[in-house]
Structure 1
Amino acid sequence: MSTVTPLEHTAIGALAGVLEVSIMQPTVGVKNALQEGRPVPRTIPMLYRGVVVSAGAMLPITAVQFGMNRFLEQTYRRVMKTEQLSMGGTVALAMGAGASSAFLGCPAEFVMIQQQKAGRSLAAEARHIMAAYGPLKPMKGLSATIARESLYACGYLAVAPLLRKKLAEQEAIAAVPGAPLVLSGITAGLLATVATQPADTIKTRMQAFPDSATHPQYRSLMSTVSHIVKTEGAGTFFAGLWPRAFRIVCAVFILNGFRSTVVDAVDNHRQ
């Protein structure tokens, strides 16, 4: 049993989130452009536009997901008086951890999307949003963000570890060094991408057009879904799928690899 506490998992998650964004930010720029229907950025500075707020957003998101998942696991074991988590319990706790992080990620991504569109600095964009929309507007798209983060966290916190364990029990697969890790990471990443892509597209559209008076079609989750289906077709929900799939598969490896390495190092040091 690991000795790493929820608070320590929170710190590990914060570092893992910054590392992941620092590596994968260009895929975010491409994905957002495809989802919004604007030209894809062509230069490195343009691809990394919004990286500061993106890293600032991912830091608390992964911190909360790591820490909350560990807290919920410990609480479950204490209440249920068991050391073993069922498959369903593992999935449910991961989804709960993901949902809790949406309240931090939603406003940060709103600022990043507006910054990518306008090309303003972070400080200038924050001032513009406050002046034009007020302090509550960055929470637009929260319901879609909750859906996305629940399923995403389920992918890397539950599906990937569970699948890796199952694959490691297969002699033919376990005989190949690293095969369970690679196969579980790719599978979990692709499943998480497909499951969360519609919610991510809805969230991006809602946040890209914040003025409900000018763009009433993006006023709510349901109006956004209805507008996209009627005017562009259901396939639009999967715009930007491949750059996002690449990012999420890589993120599964980065986040799980970083977490496992640090947790094992801490446990070994204490032992």
Structure 2
Amino acid sequence: MTGSTARRGRLVASAAALSLLLTGCAGSQGHDVDLAAASSARAAQQSRDARAAEASASRAAAQASADRARESAKAERAAAAEASEAAASAAAEAERVAAAQEEAERARVAAAEAEAEAAAAEEAALEAERVRQAQEALVAEGLESSPPTSFGIPSIGAGSDLMRLLLRDDGSLAVPPAEPGSPAAWYAHSPTPGEVGPSVLLGHVNATDGSAGVFARLVELEPGDIVEVEREDGQVAVFAVDRGVQYGKDEFPTDEVYGNTDAPELRLITCDGYNSWTREFEENYIVYATLVDVY
């Protein structure tokens, strides 16, 4: 090998070595750059992953908080509903209690009123019994003397003022006037109506013109019918009919009509038994009654 060739060989070797050196330096430098980029990318990714994890954790926490809030709200709504139901139940119970109290108060008032009414009724009954006993005693014992002023018989629609009659000079009983509308009369020598004994009232069965007299319907009276006689003292003696009897003129029961009695009694006397041939009344009709009340 020549010197020139050797020098070229050394130059080529040197160039190759230099090229290799340069290439190795360059490759080392590029490798370092790639490592740094990868490290930076990994760090960025890790940062992103961390932020994503943190965001996910935050979302989870927020979701959990929202869930807890919903559960809490649900529980509060349930508690509120339960409280409302309890309040409604309490209000209803209070209303029932108030209604029961009102009903009890009404019952108490009604009981008090009923008790007062019962007491009043009992007092009224006692008073009625006292009045009845007093009336019975009064009826049994008779009234003081007081002339009659009028009479009325509701069941037959009879009634009038009362005249006073005495005896004629021959000792016979005078009779009331017979003109139409003439009143009945009281025999003034008999007891006054309501006194113990038989009080005697007389009246015509017809009038002189043929019209009905004040005692025209006397025969229609039945036992229990009422005869009322008003007296000058303002009292009204009430008699109940016992019976009515027809007598012939020659069978007049003087003692039964005018005789003494143990109780206050009344006699109503009129003519009866008209004889169209003689144009005279041949009988008398007499109603017997007994005092039953005074007012």
What is the TM-score of this pair, normalised by structure 1? 0.20
Q: Which has the higher helix share?
A: 1
Q: Which has the higher strand share?
A: 2
Higher-Rg member (1/2): 2
What is the TM-score of this pair, normalised by structure 2? 0.19
Q: Report which structure shows greater RCO (CA 8 Å, sep ≥6).
A: 1
